[in-house]
Amino acid sequence: MDESLLELENELRRLRPSSPSAKLLKHIEAGLVAPETRLKISRSAPAVISTIGFWLNWRTVTAAAAVAAFVLILVTLPRPKGIDSAASASQALAAAPVTPVVAQEASAVVPVPAVDRYQPVGAASVLYDLKEDRVVTVSDKTPARRLRYRYVDTYTWKNPATNASLKWSVPRDEVRVLPASLH
Amino acid sequence: MTLPFKRPITPRMDVPHETAPWKQWFADYGPKLLLCARQWTRSLADAEDVVQEAFVRYWRHQRELPGDPQALLITSVRRAALDLARRNSRRTAREDRADGGLEETEAHFCPLPGEGDERRLEIEAALHRLPAEQREVLVLKIWQELTFEQIGELLAISPNTAASRYRYALGALRKELEPLCHG
């Protein structure tokens, strides 16, 4: 990259994004102190309260139990020879993320060997289905649409020493109630 | 055998987020999240809505999960913005904005200390004129400080495509701002 682009990059980096408004902070605070039914307070539709909740039934619980069992099996598998058995996978997953310490002496940098423990490397949430359930009536007698959002959240860990990776996917449902627009 | 996940789990952050109050955490990271949200929404109000939704969900239910908190939140903000866009898809063509959703009157950045507003406003106007796909990569790279790999994963593009869009964005900005640099 040429020098003028580097200078432009540095100039852009000196800019600081505007701070969120006091109103946003207040709405977040209200959202955090709201009871477990979780009220979604929308600035654009202040009269509407949508209820977000998890859809738990035997299928979801069974799927989660199967994933948990798979994870337990993986972490109890015998490790290949040459790997320190003291650092078990379960300890690695539970441990704090590693911050490699790089020793610097004068101008020399000592390379850090790959750490033999699982580290979080990614997280993703995929919306795979969106369904409109039905029209409902909210507390102020106005019609509203009930929408069901279905997600799969996937978390990935990787062991740099063995190149083994672990993915954990969890289904999640959200039900939202939105004002119905008549025009 | 210990379970793979035990609470609390310290993420890779300068401040352990499970011990810092949410206000301090949001003061540090909220402005960048809001700036990113504004690339994916039609107005500041919508951007604040999606940031609020993503942050409340994260702080209540996801902050003890392993994974980079910023990566989790940015993914969540983008998903919330896409959901909002789908919910608002019946907006009329008259309400659609050709500018990709940037507010023309609300500043994206704080005034630079010791400098006038003129240069900041010129940069904001030049950013406003970038194509949306280049602008979002630029924002994620410069202010959210993501790598091209992380940007690619978030936007479902290759890291090379992300890097190309970034270079094009910088080149376009340099052309827009060049007369001012020599002024």
pLDDT of residue A126: 83
CB contact (8 A) between residue B109 and residue A1: no
Q: Residue B82: its chain A contacts at CB < 8 A?
A: 127
Q: How far apart are CA B49 and CA B44, in angstroms?
A: 9
- Smallest CA–CA distance, residue B182 to chain A, in Å, is 12
Nearest to A40 among B46, B53, B72 (CB): B53
pLDDT of residue B170: 94
Q: Residue A96: its chain B contacts at CB < 8 A?
A: 9-10
CB contact (8 A) between residue B110 and residue A25: no
CB contact (8 A) between residue A96 and residue B10: yes
CB atoms within 10 A of CB B105: 5
Nearest to A32 among B45, B60, B79 (CB): B60
CB pairs under 8 A between A and B: 153
Number of H helices, E strands in chain A: 4, 7
- Smallest CA–CA distance, residue B48 to chain A, in Å, is 6
- Smallest CA–CA distance, residue A105 to chain B, in Å, is 24
- pTM confidence score: 0.54
CB contact (8 A) between residue A8 and residue B71: no
Cis before residue A35, ω within 30 degrees of 0?
no
Beta-strand runs (E) in chain A: 39-41, 49-51, 104-105, 108-109, 119-137, 143-159, 164-179
- Dihedral sign, CA of B70, B72, B73, B79? positive
- In a structure prediction context, what are the per-residue pLDDT tens digits for chain A, which is 183 residues long? 688 888 899 999 999 999 899 999 989 988 888 664 444 444 444 433 344 444 445 555 566 666 667 766 666 665 555 444 444 444 544 444 444 444 444 445 555 666 778 888 888 888 888 888 778 887 778 888 888 888 888 888 888 888 888 888 888 888 888 877 655
Residue B10: closest C-alpha in chain A: A96
